[in-house]
Amino acid sequence: MTNDRSIPPLGLGTYGRRGSDGISAMIEAIETGYRHLDTVQTYDTESAVGEAMRRSGLARTDFLFTTKVADFNLGKAKFMSSVRKSLKAIGLDHVDLR
């Protein structure tokens, strides 16, 4: 995300939105106009978020993605590897807020 973009006024929290039903719910939200998808490592929804984005047909730049590092991954030894794992699960090279 570049500095000239603002955070969309509405964001979709993805807690509990797993599997095909979760992906369908996210796609419906995207079709409704949501462009901010919010997840966290402990929700186990990062891959569904990425899949919904890809299926939407919209460009990556149309979205703002938020994920959060779990408290048990905050130490030096785990932090960066957990971030890389999140990025791989979502299928992105970066998130916009973390």
Among candidate residues 43, 53, 65, 90, the one labeled active-site is 43
Distance CA 58, CA 61 (A): 8
H or E element at residue 66? strand 64-66
43 is catalytic: yes
Distance CA 35, CA 59 (A): 11
The residues, ordered by sequence, that sit 6+ positions from 75 with a Cβ below 8 Å of its Cβ are none
Residues labelled catalytic: 43
